[in-house]
Amino acid sequence: MTLALSIGILVAGGVFMLLQRGMIRIVLGFIMLSHAVNLILMSAGVTSRRDAPLMATADPATAADPLPQAFVLTAIVIAFAITIYMLTLAVARSDDDTEDPS
């Protein structure tokens, strides 16, 4: 329940920020959205099983599903890289709001 609420709040905030005009706000919106999606991925594995999924020690009944965690790790790296790139785009040109006259 907490997870679903957090995802909902993050998506709402992210979408609100995306609809703003400035590039920096859009970037912040994306950070929230990607966190929300990471939480969706985490919730796709069963969240009640939390033991470390190490073959030698863990009980399969209580060990966490490592695959969504690997997904999230990959997704974080990609989101991080694109965030940096979007920030350079935000710096590269200061007026966000106006269309080019051409």
Partner 1 sequence: MNAALLPLIVAVPLLVAALLVVLDDSPAVRRWLMILPSVGALAAGGLMIAETADGTVLAHNVSLWPNGIAIPFVADAFTALVLTTTALLTLVASAFAIAVGTVRARYFPVLVLVLSAGVYGALMTGDLFNLFVFIEVMLLPSYGLLAMTGGFTRLTAGRLYVTVNLLTSTIFLAGVGLIYGVAGTVNLAELAGAAHESPLVAAAAGVCLLALSVKAAVVPVHGWLTRAYPATSPAVTALFSGLHTKVAIYAIYRIYAVVFDGDSRYLWIGLVVFSATMVIGVMGAVGQDTTRSILVFHMVSQIGYILLGVALFTPLGLMAGIFYLIHHMIVKASLFLSTGAIEHAYGHSRLDRLGSIARREPILAAAFLGAALSLAGLPPFSGFVAKLSLVTAAVDAQQWAVVATAVAVSLVTLMSMLKIWGTAFWGPKPDDEEEVAGSGTGIDSQAPLGSPAATAEADGGAAPATQTAVAAPAATAPRPEDGSATRSRVRPAVLLPSVVLTLVTLGIGLGAEGLLSLSSQAAAGLLDTSAYVEAVIGR
Rounded Cα distance, 62 and 50, in Å: 6
Tokens of 4: 């679903």
Q: Which of 44, 52, 73, 76 binds partner 1 (CB under 8 A)?
A: 44
Is residue 26 at the binding interface for partner 1, with CB under 8 A as the rule? yes
Taking residue 36's Cβ as centre, other Cβ atoms within 10 Å add up to: 20
| 19, 7 contact by CB (below 8 A) | no
Is residue 85 at the binding interface for partner 1, with CB under 8 A as the rule? yes
Rounded Cα distance, 17 and 33, in Å: 10
Q: Which is nearer to partner 1, 20 or 62 (CB)?
A: 20
Q: Which is nearer to partner 1, 57 or 101 (CB)?
A: 101
Is residue 97 at the binding interface for partner 1, with CB under 8 A as the rule? no
Rounded Cα distance, 69 and 72, in Å: 5
Q: Which is nearer to partner 1, 58 or 79 (CB)?
A: 79
| 66, 78 contact by CB (below 8 A) | no
Interface contacts to partner 1, rule CB under 8 A: 18, 23, 26, 30, 33-34, 36-37, 40-41, 43-45, 67-68, 71, 74-75, 78-79, 81-82, 85-86, 88-89, 91-93, 96, 99-100, 102
